[in-house]
Amino acid sequence: MSGSLNSDSEFAELDDASAAAYGHAVEYGRFEDEDVAKRLSLSAPEVTRIRQVLTMLRLLQPMPGNPAALVPVGPDVAAADLVGSAERQIRDLQQAVTDVRGRLMSLTPVYFEGRRLRNRLEAFDVITDPDTIQSMLDHLGGTCRHSMYTVQPGGARPGNILDAARKATLGIRGRGVDIRTIYQHTARSDLATRAYVRDVTEAGVEVRTADQVIDRMMIYDRETVFLPAHQGPGEIPGAAIVREPTLVAFVCAVFDHLWDGATPFVPESAKAPATADGIRRSIIRLMAKGYKDEMVARRLGMSVRTCRRHISEITEELEATSRFQAGFNVAMSGMLDAAEEA
């Protein structure tokens, strides 16, 4: 006889009396109500209940050829008969789950490849064509709604670039866009740059300078960022356009950090000497770190010739005959500590 787990068998509990009656039936070879009642001193209704419990648990089954007689079977046979169908259903369901999971997981490479392509198309663009880069900059400058933040390293910018920037910047500012620009301190000494800053600040543009900045960046509405594309040996320079929100937020945080530490660029103010002192301190720090003239000039956005002039003045003041001695004298004189504290 085969069967499956049902609601009746779920409520059949093998109590002590039922277990004792089952043990007697195994010993006797069959289950007979009168014999069980006599051996275990049970009432007829109690024996009937026990017989029903053992039957529902498949521990008693009809004797082959004599269905009226009940004989005990082993617990393993009873368990297989009672829950075998349910176990098969569970195995079938587990196999079905495994099959479905396997078919779906086979699409994982397709999913990640699609995400990679989508990110490349939507979140990142690398452009190497100069005309296309300029076209994108013009488009973003013409469509930005709230803010445009830029970092322009390298000191003074060429006059023709400033002329074009002046027109574009004033046009964007005329739409009420918040514009902030960070130059390096060395840009303050350039007459064309000072004239440009004077014109745009009168229109409400904010300009600050710092001794060192990381690299060129342009941020539009805190949603789109232009960065210089990584350029390997022999590769064409280009720009990376970033729209991925997490990276854009990080770049904006970097800009905010630079902005908070920068000095307002007021062309007609008397802050130029203080800025010159800042350049001097930066040169001292970089000299103490062992940077060569070319690296110091690049980090501070000045020409190598100007940088060497500053270094020469510092070296003369330190009464040094070599860069090594100058670095040693800087450390011994306490100038480096003063530069770090400033």
Instruction: List pLDDT tens digits, range 182-222.
Output: 998 878 878 888 899 999 999 999 999 887 778 889 999 99
Q: pLDDT digit string (tens) for 76-114? A: 888 888 888 888 889 999 999 988 888 888 888 887 777
Q: Do you know the residue count of the chain?
A: 342
Q: Among 50-59, 153-162, 258-267, whose mean pLDDT is lowest?
A: 153-162
pLDDT at residue 232, rounded to an integer: 63
Residue 233 has pLDDT above 80, yes or no: no
Tell me the pLDDT of the chain averaged across its residues: 81
Q: Among 7-16, 181-190, 259-268, 309-318, whose mean pLDDT is lowest?
A: 7-16
Give dist(CA 336, CA 286) in Å, integer: 10
Q: What is the DSSP string of 176-221?
A: T-EEEEEEEGGGGG-HHHHHHHHHHHHTT-EEEEES-----EEEET
- Contacts for 252 with CB less than 8 Å, ≥ 6 apart: 149, 219, 222, 225
- Band (pLDDT 50/70/90 cuts) for residue 250 is very high
Tokens of 228: 């210089």
Looking at mean pLDDT, say which of 24-28, 45-49, 110-114, 327-331 comes out highest. 45-49
Per-residue pLDDT averaged across 155-169, rounded? Answer: 85
Of the chain, the percentage scoring pLDDT greater than 70 comes to 79
In the chain, DSSP assigns E strands to 60-63, 66-72, 124-127, 147-151, 178-184, 206-210, 217-220, 224-228, 239-242, 263-264
Looking at mean pLDDT, say which of 5-9, 36-40, 178-182, 241-245 comes out highest. 178-182
Tokens 């440009």 identify what position? 196
Query: For residues 152-182, b (16+ Cβ closer than 10 Å) or e, as one string?
Result: bbbbbbeeeebeebbeebbebbeeebebbbb
pLDDT at residue 202, rounded to an integer: 93
pLDDT at residue 328, rounded to an integer: 63
Query: For residues 292-312, b (16+ Cβ closer than 10 Å) or e, as one string?
Result: ebeebbbbbbbeeeebbebbe
Identify which has the larger pLDDT, 335 or 75. Answer: 75
> Are residues 40 and 24 in contact, defined by beta-carbon separation less than 8 angstroms?
yes
Measuring CA to CA, which residue among 157, 146, 214 is closest to residue 180?
Answer: 146
Regarding pTM above 0.75, the answer is no
Phi then psi dihedrals of residue 148, to 5 deg:
-145, 115
Q: Mapping DSSP to helix (H, G, I), strand (E, B) and coil, where does residue 175 land?
A: coil
Phi then psi dihedrals of residue 129, to 5 deg:
-80, 120
Identify which has the larger pLDDT, 4 or 71. Answer: 71
